[in-house]
Amino acid sequence: MALSIKREKNILVSFSIIVLVISFLFIAFNNDFFSITGFVIGTNPSTDYGLYILNSVEGDDITFVVPIVASDAYVSKAYAIIDVIDASGGVIASLNTDFVSLSPNEKANLKVKWKDSSNSGEYQVRILVLMDVESYSYSKNFMIEKKTLSFESIIINDKVLSEEANIILGENIDFGLLVKNNLPDNVYNVSAGILIYDDLENILSELRSEKRDINASSLERFNVSWDTKGVVEGEYHAKLVINYGDEFIEKDIILNVFENNLEVLGIGYSVSSSEALKPKQNLLLISIVFILVIINLVWWIYYNKRKNNFKKKR
- pLDDT, tens only, 176-227: 999 999 888 999 999 999 999 998 889 999 999 999 999 999 999 999 999 9
The answer to whether the predicted template modeling score (pTM) of the entire model surpasses 0.75 is no
Question: Does residue 7 have a pLDDT over 50?
Answer: yes
CATH superfamily of 35-146: Intracellular proteinase inhibitor BsuPI (2.60.40.2360)
Stretch 113-129: mean pLDDT, rounded? 86
End-to-end CA distance of the chain: 11
Question: Does residue 30 have a pLDDT over 80?
Answer: no
At residue 147, the pLDDT reads 78
Where are the domains positioned within the chain? 2-31+280-313, 35-146, 148-272
pLDDT tier, 13 (very low <50, low <70, confident <90, very high otherwise): low
Range 291-300 contact pairs with CB under 8 angstroms and sequence separation of 24 or more: 292/18, 292/19, 292/22, 293/19, 293/23, 295/15, 296/12, 296/15, 296/16, 296/19, 299/12, 299/15, 300/12, 300/16
Q: Which amino acid is at 69?
A: V
**Model confidence over 40-56: pLDDT tens digits?**
223 333 233 478 887 77
Asked if 253 contacts 266 with a C-beta cutoff of 8 angstroms, the reply is yes
**Model confidence over 152-167: pLDDT tens digits?**
889 998 776 544 567 8
Q: Which amino acid is at 1?
A: M
At residue 206, the pLDDT reads 97
pLDDT tier, 125 (very low <50, low <70, confident <90, very high otherwise): very high
Stretch 78-88: mean pLDDT, rounded? 94
Which of 269, 151, 147 is CA-nearest to residue 220? 151
Checking DSSP bridges between strand 62-70 and strand 40-42, what pairing results, if any?
antiparallel
Query: In the chain, pLDDT over 90 holds for what percent of residues?
Result: 36
At residue 292, the pLDDT reads 72
Question: Does residue 142 have a pLDDT over 60?
Answer: yes
**Model confidence over 231-250: pLDDT tens digits?**
999 999 999 999 998 888 88
At residue 313, the pLDDT reads 58
At residue 153, the pLDDT reads 86
CATH topology of domain 148-272: Immunoglobulin-like (2.60.40)
Q: Do domains 35-146 and 148-272 have the same CATH topology?
A: yes
Contacts of 287 (CB under 8 A, 6+ apart): none
Question: Does residue 72 have a pLDDT over 50?
Answer: yes
Residue 142 burial (CB < 10 Å; 0-12/13-18/19+)? middle
DSSP state of 183: S
